[in-house]
Amino acid sequence: MNKLTALFLLFLFTCKACYCETLPYNFYDTFCIPITLSITEEISTKDNIYEGQSVQFKVRKNVRHNGQSILKSGDVINAKIETIVTSGMNGFPAEIIIDDFQIPGICNSQLISTYNKKGQNRCLWVYPLKWSLTLIPFAGSLTNLIKGGHAKIRPKDIVTIYYYPNWKEDKDLCIEDIKNENGTSLSE
């Protein structure tokens, strides 16, 4: 009976140590392939853009891995506007954050792809001006009227995202390979 109790206790102590959770990611591998893109149509915080809006990017250079073509120059991929920061008082710049790039045949879990673009940051001269104007009563508050620059992403801007082919694939985050009309996949 004692042996049984001892065995049970041993099991209780060791079972937690044996239990090994498998993480859905493994960032061990450092090899990455940069994918350079440019937006197809200019977007700006000045225009009517909204969070969650789909935007399209064009691949600038062919992307190959292990002798296979992943993306061809001119291919169009979708992404989403994640967050929009509007410009604020005292020269606070606007900002656009883009993510959720949908590349056929590539899992989102294998991409480091957050891209952000800011407008002109006028705080650098607005704050010194504000502090120097505080000598005159209420004059410092006038700089509140100066707003920061709008954020724009132009077709000439180069957006680089990174593809880590050896990172784990999270099947839920994979974009199925899109087939062309003639049956060949877009990534072939």
Partner 1 sequence: MKKIISLLLLLLLISPAYAGLAEMNAIQQRIDSIGTRILNFNKIPKRIIFTYSEETKAEWLGKYHELKSRQIIVYDELYQFTQTDDEIAAMLSREIATVLKSYSGMWGGSIDAIQVALSSKKFETVADKRAVDYMVKAGYNPLALIVFINKTYPQKRQDVIARHNLTSKRLARIYEYITYKYPEYLQDTEYINNQYYQNFLLNSLENRRKLEEKIKMHSTGEVHYE
**Interface ranges with partner 1 (CB under 8 A):** 23, 25, 27, 48-52, 82-83, 85-86, 88-90, 92, 95, 97, 99, 112, 116, 121, 123-124, 127
Residue with tokens 């707003």: 147
- Closest contact distance (angstroms) between CB of 112 and partner 1 is 5
Judged by beta carbon, residue 26 or residue 185, the one nearer partner 1 is 26
CB-nearer residue toward partner 1: 58 or 169: 169
> Can you list the alpha helix ranges (DSSP code H) found in the chain?
2-18, 123-133
Q: Are strands 63-65 and 68-71 parallel, antiparallel or unpaired?
A: antiparallel
Residue 124 C-beta: closest distance to partner 1, Å: 7
Residue closer to partner 1, measured from CB, 44 or 121 = 121
Q: Which CB atom, from 75 or from 95, has the smaller least distance to partner 1?
A: 95
Instruction: Write the single-letter amino acid at 164.
Output: Y
* Torsion-angle region of 30 (φ positive above 0: left; ψ -120 to 50: alpha; else: beta): alpha
Please, what is the minimum distance in Å from the beta carbon of residue 1 to partner 1? 29
Contacts of 116 (CB under 8 A, 6+ apart): 95, 96, 97, 98
- Token pair, residue 114, equals 């957050």
